[in-house]
Chain A
Amino acid sequence: MLIEFTLWFAIFRGVHQLSIGGYAREYYLSYVLWAAFVARITSSWMYEFKMIEEVDSGSINGLLVRPMTFYEYYLSQLLGYKLITSVLSLIFPITVAYLWHLPTDFSRLPLALLLVTYFLILVHTISYCVTGVAFFINKVHSLTVAKNLGLWLLSGELFPLDLLPPFWRHILLNLPFSSAVYVPVGFVTGRVGISDVLQGFYSVTLGIVFFALLGNLLWTKGMRDYTGTGA
């Protein structure tokens, strides 16, 4: 994160003006700070790897007989884990924003975090799809890496998406993935209004429906072909 800070300092040194895209340097530092925090919440490595491992190793059989679906079981695990780690690590950005007087609208934080939590359901649904692919192909771990990098690109962690040329901005903002970082962080740091947050909830819902359907398709077909040994 310090590297990103340095980068923005350097960019502003080069600009010789006080704002980029209508926002002063502090707004970018604040964005970087919150983006680093939020992005860590909305990316899932560990649980996705665990889910894939279950299919690969065949230990999924043990889960299938439980009175809870695989989807629900891991969703509750993921949400529980993220809730605890996020609440604890929230101290860090709050302290930094407070001490350095980085522009942050704390009253907007609860709604932003609600969107982040909602986005986690989408994250999990996508993990569910990737896990479904594991029925057909071995070594899908590399797919996780590719997918997470793709999301990283679309989420707005690298830079605020409103800096993009209009064409790209329009596309990325309408995809649900901007709700991973850009919409909640932009909301807290004052770049994004309430209407965009609501739009975020809406597009995340569409995303969940889309990936849930895809995931179900993969799983029904996968379970039919599944030998149970998972060799």
Chain B
Amino acid sequence: MKKYVELYWAFFRASFIADMEFRANFLTRILTDIFWYVAQVGSFEVFYQFTPKIGDWGRAETRVFLGILFVVDAIYMVMFNENLDQLPEKVRRGQLDLLLAKPVNSQFMLSLQKANTAILGNFILGASWLVWALLQRPDFSWWRTLWLLVLIPCGVCIFYCVRFLFATTSVMFTKAENIQYLWYQIYRLGMRPDSIYVPWMRVLILSIVPVGIIASVPARFLLEAPNYPMLLWAIFLAGFALFLSSRFWLYALGKYSSASS
């Protein structure tokens, strides 16, 4: 365990050195995500001009939800996104081979070896928005943010696992672009507050495709009285998803045929 923490830190530093090569990238990444943030926030601000509530959430609650979404998304982007996006390409070019020959858990190596440090700016931006949104709530007890210590890791973990499952299919099928597209559609389910969904869909995003845990559940813990069964459920799901992803990875590797060259 200690080895892995140290190794991750070493990867992180190495990634930072590599990323510094492309300074323009830091700027365009932040610009891109500002557009994205504005789009998310802007849409809801427009909708709330016409209605006090969407589902059971008003403007202020949705702002908090978006803050959590930005933070979780930024953490995921920093840690995992580049690795998982490139996974199909790595498989196609046969670069998985050398990785498999290392005495380190291959899932760990594959998922975490390249951090995208250019996104750190976005993390700060997202976190600032969250803090601002919480400051707007007069009776907010800041103790509640402690829930995030548990729930944000759960959210990131589930985010990662679902994405990883989709990316892993590329080990078995060489053409997996459509599957990656499907992933994006599922992620979009989680990008909306769970309050907009009809009950059966809400059940769906909290169980089988648990993208609701990514942002909606942490937001509810900040906004409402703690729901302990939900807390346990989120922790269980995160652990289970992680277990499932590693089993699936091993299964996929058994099918792996390696690029012929």
Contact = CB atoms under 8 A, between A and B. Distances in A.
Interface of A: 3, 6-7, 9-11, 13-15, 20-21, 137-139, 142-143, 145-146, 149-150, 152-153, 158-159, 163-165
Contacts of B36: 149
B56 to A, nearest CB: 9
B39 A142 contact: no
Contacts of A15: 50-51
A152 B24 CA distance: 22
A124 B46 CA distance: 30
Contact of B39 (A3, A158, A163): A158
B188 A3 contact: yes
Contacts of B22: 138-139
Contact of B35 (A13, A146, A159): A146
Interface residues on chain B, size class: 20 to 34
**Chain A contact surface mostly:** helix
Contacts, number: 74
Interface of B: 22, 24-25, 28-29, 31-32, 35-36, 38-39, 42-43, 46-47, 49-55, 188-189, 192, 195-198, 201
Contact of B52 (A14, A159, A165): A14
B132 to A, nearest CB: 21
A6 B197 contact: yes
A7 B192 contact: yes
B45 to A, nearest CB: 10
Nearest to B193: A10
Which of B38, B196, B201 has most chain A Cβ within 10 Å? B196
A20 B35 contact: no
17 contacts: A7-B196, A9-B196, A10-B55, A11-B47, A13-B55, A14-B52, A20-B51, A137-B24, A142-B29, A145-B32, A146-B28, A149-B39, A153-B39, A159-B43, A159-B47, A163-B46, A163-B49
A149 B28 contact: no
Nearest to A1: B185
